[in-house]
A and B are shown apart, each in its own frame.
Chain A
């Protein structure tokens, strides 16, 4: 169980925004944060990861306090999360294998590397550098790397938005496969309706810094868009 109750003042291109994020996520749940750009989606992930400090509130993950205003603020290193950014963020100076080895904790067995490489169908690319890989391949490496430490929480910040739609579909399958295999609590940030509808059963609609709706994709997404999406699937 993850209890998040945070707020922070943000300064963006649309001016000042008071972000208030208050929700509870069950263990193993796949939740999508959906909303227009500038609504504070990425900031929520950054606060969960410890890369941004909330002005107030608390973050409690499976009875461990990660953040409590004025008392506790665990560093990103101590939070045991996996995060995947839109730009993949693979280390250019390391091979695929090297990127995964870098993620190993002290004393951790390297077996997990082979397991993830095979799960993500990356065995043949082991010795390649990120620069020679396609976008989809790079993102698969980034996903595998995020899971090496067996995180409690997987955070995906628009991980597929730089890929073409065929590749997106394929990657979505990979993400769902990982989610099921490791029973991972996953939070996906997305502004792509089709992706949201396909990936998760629960959507948080973030508008103007607040969760305005919380429910299934059918309940949350603008009906018209959703119909278009269904029509698109049928045709």
Chain B
């Protein structure tokens, strides 16, 4: 009997992660794209860390941080009565950190692709930075925004290591699809694992096809030559 709850959990996690990343990602990417401080490199490296770090390493540190025995976890527990270890909210925070570069990098390059003269013209027309962001920059980098969202979403669906470390394997709470597949294989239940895997495979393929389609179309949207 196929259980669709893990799919639902995975989608819920991916959606929550993407929404938060979109909100956090735009100001952060804006800062990285337009701030010329030499400390930028450090911030950029920090944001990119999840690309090279094994999820288990990141998960390990988050587990330590979230643990009620340690400062951060204790603070959250004492003052807000929030537990992040082995809970869905904890999983969302871990996913946001883990998928950060997948949102930041496309959006940051999107900001740099919008011609500087458009921004400068808007300034000389008396517009402040926020107006320029919402009316000039963001509308002219839709492809980058869509790419960032789709990649973050897809990457979160595909999480395994960090989910296992921070979320564990609690049904209805943190037992997402990738964990279920692992469980089924462990239990020698290859048929189930195969069905789940093929669904995930087709889904991921379609996601990537849509990203490339969007990007190809975006190339046709030309700024004036």
Please report which residues of chain A, range 17-74, place their CB below 8 angstroms from some CB of chain B when the two chains form the complex.
49-51
Q: Is A217 part of the contact surface with B, judged by Cβ < 8 Å?
A: no
- By the criterion CB–CB under 8 Å, are B121 and A89 in contact? yes
Q: Is A85 part of the contact surface with B, judged by Cβ < 8 Å?
A: yes
Interface size on A, residues (CB 8 A): 30
Q: Is A76 part of the contact surface with B, judged by Cβ < 8 Å?
A: yes
A49 with B135, Cβ < 8 A, contacts A92-B223, A131-B222 known: no
Q: Is B140 part of the contact surface with A, judged by Cβ < 8 Å?
A: yes
Task: Please measure, in the bound complex, the distance between the C-alpha atom of A91 and the C-alpha atom of B221, giving whole angstroms.
Answer: 12
Question: Of all chain B residues, which has the CB nearest A88?
Answer: B224
Task: Please measure, in the bound complex, the distance between the C-alpha atom of A78 and the C-alpha atom of B128, giving whole angstroms.
Answer: 10
Task: Please measure, in the bound complex, the distance between the C-alpha atom of A20 and the C-alpha atom of B29, giving whole angstroms.
Answer: 37
- By the criterion CB–CB under 8 Å, are A81 and B136 in contact? no
Task: Please measure, in the bound complex, the distance between the C-alpha atom of A41 and the C-alpha atom of B224, giving whole angstroms.
Answer: 24
- By the criterion CB–CB under 8 Å, are A90 and B124 in contact? no
- By the criterion CB–CB under 8 Å, are B140 and A91 in contact? yes
Q: Is A75 part of the contact surface with B, judged by Cβ < 8 Å?
A: yes
Give the shortest distance, in Å, between A141 (CB) and chain B (any CB).
10
Q: Is B187 part of the contact surface with A, judged by Cβ < 8 Å?
A: no
- By the criterion CB–CB under 8 Å, are A131 and B224 in contact? yes
Closest 7 CB pairs of A and B: A93-B139, A76-B123, A89-B117, A89-B121, A103-B125, A77-B126, A76-B124
Residues of A at under 8 Å CB distance from B?
49-51, 75-83, 85, 87-93, 102-103, 105, 130-131, 135, 138, 145, 148-149
Could you list 15 further interchain pairs (A-B, Cβ under 8 angstroms) beyond the known A51-B123, A88-B224? A49-B120, A50-B124, A76-B123, A76-B124, A82-B124, A85-B117, A87-B224, A89-B115, A90-B224, A91-B118, A91-B135, A91-B140, A138-B224, A145-B125, A149-B125
Residues of B at under 8 Å CB distance from A?
115, 117-118, 120-128, 135-136, 139-140, 221-224
